[in-house]
Amino acid sequence: MTEPIHIIAIGDPFLDAATLCEVITPRLPSGAVLEALDWNVGGKEPLQRINLQCEQRGPDAIDPPAELLAAIPRADILFTQFCPVSARALEAAPRLRVIGVGRSGVENIDVMAATRRGVCVLNTVGRNAEAVAEYAIGLLLCEARNIARGHAALKRGEWRKKYPNDESVPELPGRTLGLVGLGAIGRLLVKRLSGFDMKFLAYDPYADAGAATALGVALTDLPTLMRASDFISIHAKLTPETRGLISRELIALMKPTAYLINTARAELVDEAALAESLRSGRIAGAALDVFMREPLPASDPLAALDNVTLSPHQGGVSVDAYRTTARMFIDNVRRLWDGGELPANLVNRETQSNLQNFKDQIQRRAL
């Protein structure tokens, strides 16, 4: 009897093993078995600290979790959302052929080590795009229209009417939104904010010019975008090339009435330069969901400013987003059993032939 394909799914405090089983099991292909287990990391706050470490230092930022090391030797296919998979963990996985990462970024995976071992890494692009796009719009409105500041004042018993942007509180029609990154989230922002009659610029070296034009977006270079935009929303992927992309020099190009919104990665922006620009009133405001230090200390310079809206890295959090993550993973993996194209979103393209060989192997088993 042919041994089944083992799928090991590592749950976490945001997407636990029970939910993984609930979503994946009805979609499980014939000839595959699912084993889902939870990474006992101690809750959402410790996990967020680990996530930040992995984003900054890679999967070796922490030792491989015991749950992963115990399960990975049985895995042909591994799913992880946040659990780090280092070179050490991969050494314990002789059967492993595919890693499915439940998000777009793969900072928690040692992709180079996986590639050396011929292991294919698939990410999940757009799994929380709706959640983040909605949240970015919320932050934009909250900062420009002083919603959070007014709310906080009322909670203190203060009927506040004076704000840092009193002379330039904007409405959105006719204003220009500059998007740094025109991927799934950026495109959704354009669709949603088109209803506000905004204009759109985007900087994205990988964007298709024809598709951008059809969406009503003018592609441009980054300095032009920084100069011309009334709102700048960051949606680029963090890579060695994009780290520090929004530099002190580029922030200095912004209009004095402009706002910067970041729901992507803190490392994309020179945070110290941004804080200085806000403190001096060089730009009107900012709205940030991501920070170089998380949780953000009360002593952080950003926390003392009155022209910035801050939130605790929650833009991608929704019950729909996490269930979508699991569904997108298993629907992608099912392509190995179905005819037609290979699974989408292969990160390490060097392993494409390995992925095809694995698909062919599964197809032969089904005969």
Strand (E) or helix (H) holding 122: strand 120-122
Whether 152 and 227 share a structural domain:
yes
pLDDT of residue 171: 98
Report the percent of the chain where pLDDT is more than 70: 99
- Number of structural domains (the chain) is 2
Whether 158 and 286 share a structural domain:
yes
pLDDT of residue 195: 97
pLDDT of residue 367: 62
**What is the mean predicted confidence (pLDDT) over 128-149?**
97
Whether 332 and 360 share a structural domain:
yes
Q: How far apart are CA 185 and CA 91, in angstroms?
A: 35
Whether 114 and 151 share a structural domain:
no
Q: How far apart are CA 334 and CA 256, in angstroms?
A: 51
Whether 170 and 106 share a structural domain:
no
Residues 82-100 pLDDT 10s: 999 999 999 999 999 999 9
Q: Give SS3 for 234.
A: strand
Whether 291 and 212 share a structural domain:
yes
Extract the tokens encoding 54. Answer: 């992995």
Q: Measure Cα distances from 67 to 41, 84, 92, 162, 239 in Å.
A: 10, 11, 12, 53, 29
Residues 328-345 pLDDT 10s: 999 999 999 987 789 889
pLDDT of residue 1: 46
**Catalytic residues, which ones?**
265, 294, 313
**What is the mean predicted confidence (pLDDT) over 69-81?**
97
pLDDT of residue 341: 87
pLDDT of residue 108: 96
CA-wise closest residue to 178 among 161, 198, 162, 202? 202
The beta-carbon contacts of 191-197 under 8 Å, at least 24 apart in sequence, are 191/215, 192/133, 192/134, 192/137, 193/137, 196/172, 197/172, 197/173
Whether 341 and 246 share a structural domain:
no
Whether 105 and 138 share a structural domain:
no
Whether 278 and 157 share a structural domain:
yes
For the chain, the average pLDDT equals 96
**What is the mean predicted confidence (pLDDT) over 269-285?**
98
pLDDT-based confidence at residue 52 (cuts at 50, 70, 90): confident
Whether 166 and 274 share a structural domain:
yes
For residue 67, the enclosing domain spans 5-127+318-366
Whether 353 and 301 share a structural domain:
no
pLDDT of residue 366: 67
Residues 221-241 pLDDT 10s: 999 999 999 999 999 998 889
